[in-house]
């Protein structure tokens, strides 16, 4: 199974189903939720400590909403920082290293970078729908299938890094500009129900840190500097 992150327990490999919240950033762990959820809200199978550490190097996202203004600002700051952090994480890696799975049976570093771009393009659309429509229904996507497409497997990571630079500049400007009440609005997931915009902020703040830690953890284990 290729599940790289939270996809491993989700139905049909679909993406972003729950209402996660990111705890203050920690390089080692985040507080676990009371329920054992992946970031889509799907129950996950028990794993060994080693598997858990590699799959969730900063811990799992949790599910708390609404956010206080300071908490929300912190998470938006994390979204803003992601492009530079991910670029730094892959800096200097050659093609062989980029095509190394971050864990046994996992996605490669190259696939991870392109996946983050795929996911955050969906995030941008979900924010805009949630801010402008009344509880719109979003369309889930099969992240596993997307990551197996040829562009995700072979294109240079710089393409997605540049995409993330521009995408996050627009997304962060939007998030910092809308009125606070907009974060009380919601989108509707066809399987998991309503999800507040605060929860969407938390999900994607966690998501970027989560995948960046996959790369930095691999570099550390392999001695790549």
Question: CB-based contacts of 30: which residues, under 8 Å, 6+ apart?
Answer: 22, 23, 58, 59, 60, 61, 62, 206
CA dist 178 to 6, 69, 93, 105, Å? 29, 13, 38, 41
Tokens of 56: 């969730």
Rounded to 10 degrees, what is the CA torsion of 163, 166, 171, 172?
130
Question: CB-based contacts of 224: which residues, under 8 Å, 6+ apart?
Answer: 92, 93, 97, 218
CB 117, CB 147: distance < 8 Å:
no
d(CA 25, CA 202): 12
For the chain, residues with pLDDT lower than 70 are 1-51, 63
DSSP alpha helix (H) spans, the chain: 49-55, 69-90, 95-98, 109-132, 143-147, 150-154, 157-177, 197-222
The pTM assigned to this predicted structure is 0.80
Residue 43: its pLDDT value, please?
A: 25
φ, ψ dihedrals at 47, nearest 5°: -130, 160
Find the radius of gyration of the CA atoms of the chain.
16
CB 152, CB 110: distance < 8 Å:
yes
Residue 46: its pLDDT value, please?
A: 39
HSE-CB at 51 with a 13 A cutoff on CA atoms is 13
pLDDT tens-place string over residues 19-51: 344 444 333 333 322 222 233 332 233 345 566
């Amino acid at each position: 199974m290729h599940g790289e992150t939270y996809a491993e327990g989700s139905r049909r490999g679909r993406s972003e189903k729950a209402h996660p919240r990111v705890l203050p950033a920690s390089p080692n762990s985040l507080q676990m939720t009371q329920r054992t959820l992946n970031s889509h809200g799907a129950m996950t199978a028990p794993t060994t400590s080693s598997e858990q550490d590699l799959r969730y190097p900063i811990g799992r996202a949790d599910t708390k909403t609404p956010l206080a203004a300071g908490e929300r600002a912190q998470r938006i700051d994390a979204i803003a920082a992601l492009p530079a952090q991910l670029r730094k994480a892959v800096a200097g890696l050659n093609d062989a290293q980029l095509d190394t799975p971050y864990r046994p049976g996992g996605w490669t570093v190259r696939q991870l970078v392109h996946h983050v771009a795929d996911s955050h393009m969906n995030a941008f659309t979900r924010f805009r729908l949630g801010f402008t429509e009344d509880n719109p229904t979003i369309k889930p996507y099969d992240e596993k299938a997307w990551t197996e497409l040829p562009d995700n497997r072979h294109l240079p990571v710089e393409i997605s890094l540049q995409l993330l630079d521009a995408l996050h500049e627009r997304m962060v400007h939007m998030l910092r500009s809308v009125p606070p009440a907009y974060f009380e609005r919601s989108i509707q997931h066809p399987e998991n129900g309503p999800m507040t915009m605060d929860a969407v902020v938390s999900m994607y703040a966690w998501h970027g840190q989560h995948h960046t830690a996959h790369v930095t953890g691999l570099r550390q284990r392999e001695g790549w500097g």
